[in-house]
Structure 1
Amino acid sequence: MTAAAATGRGPDSGTAPLQRQDARQEQAHSVMKALQPLQRWAQFGWPKLCGAMSYDLLVAPDIDIEIYGTLRVETGFSLVSAWAQDPAVDRILFLNAVDEPDAGLGWEVRYRVHGVPWTVQMWLLPTDYDGPRSADLVEPMRAALSSGTRSTILCIKERLVARGTEYRSIDVYRAVLDDGVKDIDEYDRWCRSYSSTGLLNWRPSPRR
């Protein structure tokens, strides 16, 4: 019996992971429409959608935003205090990482859509921040991805989530886009030698 049969699920076609991702994007866009974080942060700096949502690689219900501006704690709290009035918001967290490598202030807002808790992670960074910027990775990632590599990445991330394995998305991207990893077994072997920690300044190889 194949692994797919043992789980009661046939092997994915090339489009199935993409279709599931599209459904997650719809939920994510409903969160963005409700909270309007990009529009609201624009009065305080330059906000940029980044991470999996910006690459069309959503698996976990997380939305990542970086904002470049003046580091003022009251800035973020002026926004989250308004979001806290929304009954769909059930948690708000504040992170002060000014003295850490991230060198910024973070807020997390958890917003429920049809029972699914979506986390909007927002990092306020100084305008002259010289560390790795997720915002700078968006265009290189979109240029490097094809429907095939996007499907492979989604399948690997879905398998990792299904078995409860902690992972770094950037490692999955590196494995598939730089080293041609094709499935979860190859990814597990790749991780034994190449998994990363900490901040990483990486760009994908150009699409061939």
Structure 2
Amino acid sequence: MDLQKQQEDLQKEGNSLLSKWKLLEELSKYGKVTVVGSMALGLMTWRDIDIEVQGDISKDDYFEIARYIFNQHKLNDIRLADYRKDYNPGHQKGLYINVRAWANETDKWKLDVWFILPGESKLDEYYRKTKEKLNIEKINAILFIKNAVCQNPKYRKVYSSVDIYKAVLDEGVTNLDQFKEYLAKIGKEL
């Protein structure tokens, strides 16, 4: 499988979904909108879009956005969560909307939308540094490892894409066996 082509196809499909729903335009009414995650880095191996909205959003606006998303074509489910007070180390503080939408008859998109206060994002510097480290060999290694593990039940629960990025970009990992060794070194397992 050509993982670069798969990544490009997922980017196109994801951008098409965002465009059809006019989601970025709608979200921009409530703050500064940034697509983050693997879509922003060009490292997609599955249908997943992460969006961050920096703005001081009211509860009414939050539920209005949820209503807007709920009314979109091919929506499968939507979940809402408030992480503003109960800080979970695996999440940032903010309001959260998780969406599943049908891409076709068998595949779904996962969209995560975070609403955070202005200045609360820690991602700008992270993405700048990550992009500086990327080259074709590292991109291919990341895509290979992500593609190999993204269906594993432990993915996103025990380890995440960030672990893969750190392993490849900071530790020189190039294959799945080395990634398993890296995870063991940091107290996680595949």
TM-score, with normalisation over the residues of structure 2? Answer: 0.86
Other-structure match for 1:171 = 163
Other-structure match for 2:123 = 134
The SS at the match of 1:42 is: helix
Question: Which residue of 85, 100, 107 maps to 2:71?
Answer: 85
> Deviation of residue 164 (structure 1)?
4.3
Other-structure match for 1:120 = 111
- For residues 130-160 of structure 1, give each alpha carbon's deviation from its aligned partner in whole angstroms, at most 9, with x where no partner exists: xx62344223222221111011001001111
- For residues 147-180 of structure 1, give each alpha carbon's deviation from its aligned partner in whole angstroms, at most 9, with x where no partner exists: 1101100100111125544231100000000010
8 Å CA contact 1:171, 1:195 repeated in 2: no
The SS at the match of 2:45 is: coil
Tell me how large the CA RMSD over aligned residues is: 1.8
Q: Of the two, which has the highest radius of gyration?
A: 1
Number of residue equivalences: 180
8 Å CA contact 1:66, 1:134 repeated in 2: no
Other-structure match for 1:70 = 56
Q: 1:91 to 1:104 in 2, by over 3 A?
A: same
Q: Which runs of 5+ in 1 are unaligned?
A: 1-11, 197-208
Q: 1:138 to 1:30 in 2, by over 3 A?
A: same
Other-structure match for 1:48 = 34
Q: Distance in 1 between matches of 2:47 and 2:61?
A: 25
8 Å CA contact 2:21, 2:72 repeated in 1: no
Other-structure match for 2:15 = 29
8 Å CA contact 1:95, 1:107 repeated in 2: yes
Other-structure match for 2:25 = 39
8 Å CA contact 1:156, 1:172 repeated in 2: yes
8 Å CA contact 2:30, 2:57 repeated in 1: no
User: Percent identity, aligned pairs only?
Assistant: 21
The SS at the match of 2:150 is: helix
> Deviation of residue 120 (structure 1)?
1.2
Q: 1:109 to 1:135 in 2, by over 3 A?
A: farther
Q: 1:193 to 1:150 in 2, by over 3 A?
A: same
Question: Which residue of 181, 188, 193 maps to 2:185?
Answer: 193
- For residues 77-129 of structure 1, give each alpha carbon's deviation from its aligned partner in whole angstroms, at most 9, with x where no partner exists: 21221222223112111010011332200012222112321111110011132
The SS at the match of 2:110 is: strand
Greater shift in the superposed pair: 147-156 or 83-92: 83-92
